[in-house]
Amino acid sequence: MVLIALIAGMIAVFGKGDATVPDVTDETVAVATNKLQAAHLKIGDTKYQASSSVTKGHVILTDPTKGSSVKEDSSVNLVISKGSSRFTVRDYKGDSYDEVRDDLKRAGFTVVKKVKSSSKATGTILKQDLAAGTKVNPKKTTITLTVAKKTRLVKIPNFVGKNLSTAEAWAADHDIMLSQNDDDTGSMAYGRITSQGIEAGEKVKRGSTLTVYVSVGRSSTQTTTTTQPDEHNHNNESKESSSSSSSTKSSSSSSSSSTQRAASSSTPAVAPSAQSSSTASSAQTASSNNSSN
C-alpha cells in the first residue's frame, strides 16, 4: 500500500508536462479562457486597470506573460481593461519639448509640433492649445505644442537715400520681411528710399517686418503753377491802358492846338489905321512924281 501511494504521488508531481502561455492580449475574457484551457492552463486572479489603448473588458496582459513556459494546469492571472481613464493635461510651458512629447505619446496622445522664433532656448515649449487642467481621452486627443527656435537679433542698417533693391537684397539675406509703401512727396529721385519704419541701428528678431517708403518721383499733383492774371484786373488794366492812351492823345491834340495858337499869336498884327496911313503916303508920292514929269 505504501508503495502504491508513493507511486501515485510521484505521478502527481512529475507526470505533468510543460505548457506555453498563449497570447490573449486584447481578447475578451471568454476568448482568453478558452485559449488558456486549450493550452492546459487555467484562469487565476483577475484584476481591472484603466487603459486608453485596450477596449473595456478585454485583456491588457497576463501573468506569467505570453510565451512563458509553465507546467500544465498552472494558473494564469489576467489584467482586464476597465476602459480609458480621463487624462488631466498639465501646464507644459517652459518644459523641454522632447520630454513632454514622449510622455504624451506614451499616454496615447497625438502630438503636433509648431516652431516659432524666440529668445528662449531652442526646444522650449512656448504655448499649448489645451489648457492646463483639461481632462481628455488621450487616445482620441491631439495636442499642439508651440516650440521655441532661438534666433540672433539683426541690426537694421540705414537705407535712407539708397535704392529699394539694396534693402531687398539685405532683407533676403537676414530673414527680414520687407514691406514697401510709396512716397509721392518728390523729395528724392525715383526708386530711392525716403524713410524707414525701424530706425537704423535698432536690433530686431529674424522674421520681423521692416517697412520702407520709396519715392515714386514727382507727384502728378505737384505741377508747376503759372499765375494767370485775373480777368477783372485784366479788364481794368485794359481800361486803364485805353484811358491812358486817350489821355495821351488828348494831351497831344491839346498841345498841338496850343502850339498853333501860340504861333498865330507871335505873328505881329497890322493895325488898320497904320495900313491906311501907309496907303495914303504912297498915293501922295505917286502924285508928286507925276507932276514933276
pLDDT tens profile 209-224: 999 999 998 654 444 4
| Residue 206 confidence class, pLDDT cut points 50, 70, 90 | confident
Position with higher pLDDT, 171 vs 254 = 171
The per-residue pLDDT for 5 is 57
pLDDT at 107: 87
Please say if the pLDDT value at position 268 is more than 70.
no
Determine the pLDDT at residue 119.
Answer: 73
Mean pLDDT of 73-86: 90
Q: In this predicted structure, what is the pLDDT of residue 128?
A: 97
- Residue predicted with more confidence, 137 or 24: 24
Is it the case that residue 244 has pLDDT exceeding 80? no
pLDDT of residue 235 exceeding 90: no
Distance CA 84, CA 62 (A): 19
Q: What confidence tens digit (pLDDT) does each residue in 7-30 have?
A: 555 555 555 789 999 999 999 999
- Do residues 146 and 126 touch, judged by C-beta distance below 8 A? yes
140: which DSSP letter? G
Angle at 53 between CA 58 and CA 20, to 5 degrees: 50
CB 149 within 8 A of CB 97: no
- pTM comes to 0.35
Q: What angle do CA 8, 14, 20 make, to 5 degrees?
A: 135
Q: Which three cell numbers stand for residue 132?
A: 492646463
Percent pLDDT > 90 in the chain is 53
Is the pLDDT at 89 greater than 80? The verdict is yes
pLDDT on residue 219: 53
Per the listing, cell 500500500 goes with 1
Give CA 101 to chain center in angstroms.
32
List of domains in the chain: 15-81 (3.30.10.20), 87-150 (3.30.10.20), 153-215 (3.30.10.20)
Q: What is the mean pLDDT of residues 146-171?
A: 92
